[in-house]
Structure 1
């Protein structure tokens, strides 16, 4: 007679949690302007090669309007610093500080910290260009106040040349790629007072690797000082400058939403344990099987880290789950449960997740991968081994049952 040993195995999934990176901080003091830069990492199971942040900052400054498409095509991101003031322009052909002049800062690194304060990452911020809009306050200057010739040390990317409105707007890109302090300038064509109606900078972010970051909110901030000659400003606008605001607090908000998906085949809520090859050796020859087992297949997709833990209907002191004889009184039979996730590894030890034992007493392992893994075939293996099998066979006709819950937590 073939004995019926069954295991009800429940798999519970915690769907992929949202991971948000936000870089936010309090404003500086008086005379400070606050601006916000946002980006998003939201992987797509149908596009696993998408592994970078996407800039989601609302358009402002020189790119917002006529030049929007040109900025999109060239991956330029400008933002209005909200700095306003005046500039005394003096007719000159020496590219000096009396001219249309902008000094730009070197790159810097901002530390961003998770909302729980446990994790930090480095964010690189590089100023690759700047734009200045000046309007003739007296209204008696040339229609094109600054030279239309070549700029010194920079490439002019966008401008309002021939606007004929006695204003000048230039977006300059650094020819050195953004490394080190750099001064850009043009000649003035006339001596006059000009209102600074807009001052923008163009930037590039070097973001942390999102696949290595846990779900959560990360915050940080950096501050730039804007000023004139001799003020030690990060952005130097030369001589004759008076500003309403001279400090720019830059807040970065980086929003990461990791993908997580667990796909289970029909019937995965029940696993019937049996010897490999069936019961023939026992029923015909009385040979006790070495194990009663069942492998439960499933597929998993994940772009971030996740943990795996275990809950048992009948827990044993050693952390294993058990199945119980529901027909007559007998000892519980211990289950050995192992998890195999090809391509994943334990984040702490680096050990591949192959035959990873699961118990209720172990710290839930946090699993990670070097890539966005899509629908990877995986297995849960359940087994009663050795002497426990023989003990079960001493109760012919009995039924052993138990519930096991395997929890995949996408927000470990």
Structure 2
């Protein structure tokens, strides 16, 4: 064997909001199964696990005498790593644990010859304490599958705790090796609704060898001494706003319209219009407004009689659907919008085309001013409402 080196394996998971399951805010594994779960997908699906096969070989350093224990141990406890969004430099914590281990052991000569029987399966059963390697020693657990040839046996064990799982020989084995390393893993990922869009990456390195994180016992030396898992969490958020046809033309009127003024001469107290919109959102976002006519005071935008230059202020606020909260965790009801971006609004679940309302209002002072100075001409102004998912 050459000098021991390291092996790298990418673990990739994706979050995309699912309109059919708006409350399912989880990452989906996108790492192709290899090894055990590729061969036995039904077993892995039943236990919600994924497996990876690494090209790592563990060779015995000498013969194994009768009664020699081959003890396998894996990092079954949760370990933490930090993943970072390269664009925003935001960080999150991911946790991983190894939930299963498997390989194929290869003997220097057929098992049935080593124990002096003619039946191939019986040879594997008699060569080890507790029968063949499909039967995992405690605290590892049986996985239900195995495959053998005269001098090899493929196995996979579940690893609920981080401890040695030992099989003892009943006869001398001149030499053997474990060909490839299969492992199953489980992830704990952050809530993607609190993460910005983009790729979050980070790495976790395990040692391999007699005293390492992955160990096949004191007699077995791997041809790689480290395995590094490179995690990539891909967050692909949705932020989409639909305004009904004609919704971009906002006409401000008194309560009940202009008829009461025309009939009785009663002046309106305020002018307003509520405009609904449909929002789909899976991520934080802020809102702001831009004004064609900036009056230079307050939070509103101006509407102007272009001939006289007289102007009044329009205040804009927003009410967001249930499931979206403000920066203090409260429902969003008539939240004033300004030219400066608001604090972030945060979805608790994925919202798919839920209705919200933009409130446009001219208050009493400006309403009175506009009526006094009206010359039969309209007061106009463009107000742009911005939904921005690029939240710091």
Question: Could you state the TM-score of these two structures normalised by the residue count of structure 1?
Answer: 0.83
* Mapping of residues 294-305 of structure 1, within 5 Å: 294-305=273-284
Q: How far apart in 1 are the matches of 2:88 and 2:6? A: 27
Q: What is the CA distance between 1:277 and its match in structure 2?
A: 1.1
Tell me the equivalent position of 1:207.
Answer: 189
* Mapping of residues 269-280 of structure 1, within 5 Å: 269-280=248-259
Q: How far apart in 1 are the matches of 2:271 and 2:78? A: 62
Query: Does residue 53 in structure 1 map to residue 27 in structure 2?
Result: yes
* Mapping of residues 46-85 of structure 1, within 5 Å: 46-65=20-39, 67-85=40-58
Tell me the equivalent position of 1:341.
Answer: 320
Tell me the equivalent position of 1:128.
Answer: 99
Deviation per CA, 1:197-225: give whole Å up to 9, x if none.
Answer: 21122111111111222212212111100
Q: How far apart in 1 are the matches of 2:54 and 2:164? A: 19
Displaced runs of 4 or more, over 4 A: none
Tell me the equivalent position of 2:139.
Answer: 153
Q: How far apart in 2 are the matches of 1:121 and 1:150? A: 36
Tell me the equivalent position of 1:7.
Answer: none
* Mapping of residues 348-367 of structure 1, within 5 Å: 349-360=328-339, 362-367=340-345
CA contact (8 A) 1:141 1:192 kept: no
Residues 30 and 308 of structure 1: CA distance in aligned 2, closer, same or farther (over 3 Å):
farther
Q: What is the CA distance between 1:276 and its match in structure 2?
A: 0.6
Query: Does residue 170 in structure 1 map to residue 155 in structure 2?
Result: yes
Secondary structure of 1:365 counterpart: coil
Q: What is the CA distance between 1:281 and its match in structure 2?
A: 3.2
Q: How far apart in 2 are the matches of 1:64 and 1:342? A: 43
CA contact (8 A) 2:315 2:360 kept: yes
Query: Does residue 392 in structure 1 map to residue 377 in structure 2?
Result: no
Secondary structure of 1:283 counterpart: helix
CA contact (8 A) 1:158 1:170 kept: no
Secondary structure of 1:82 counterpart: strand
Deviation per CA, 1:309-333: give whole Å up to 9, x if none.
Answer: 211111221342111113x213221
Tell me the equivalent position of 1:112.
Answer: 83
Q: How far apart in 2 are the matches of 1:117 and 1:401? A: 39
Secondary structure of 1:337 counterpart: strand
Tell me the equivalent position of 2:169.
Answer: 188
* Mapping of residues 86-97 of structure 1, within 5 Å: 86-87=59-60, 88=62, 90-93=64-67
Residues 117 and 312 of structure 1: CA distance in aligned 2, closer, same or farther (over 3 Å):
closer
CA contact (8 A) 1:102 1:235 kept: yes
Q: How far apart in 2 are the matches of 1:285 and 1:48? A: 51
| Residue segments in structure 2 that go unaligned for 5+ positions in a row | 113-119
Query: Does residue 240 in structure 1 map to residue 219 in structure 2?
Result: yes
Q: What is the CA distance between 1:380 and its match in structure 2?
A: 0.4
Q: How far apart in 2 are the matches of 1:364 and 1:332? A: 26
Q: How far apart in 2 are the matches of 1:125 and 1:132? A: 21
Question: Could you state the TM-score of these two structures normalised by the residue count of structure 2?
Answer: 0.87
* Mapping of residues 200-349 of structure 1, within 5 Å: 200-228=182-210, 232-318=211-297, 319-326=299-306, 328-343=307-322, 344-347=324-327, 349=328
Q: Which moved more, 1:311-320 or 1:295-304?
A: 311-320
Q: How far apart in 2 are the matches of 1:30 and 1:183? A: 23
Secondary structure of 1:336 counterpart: strand
Secondary structure of 2:193 counterpart: helix
CA contact (8 A) 1:338 1:382 kept: yes
Q: How far apart in 1 are the matches of 2:4 and 2:25? A: 40
Tell me the equivalent position of 1:374.
Answer: 352
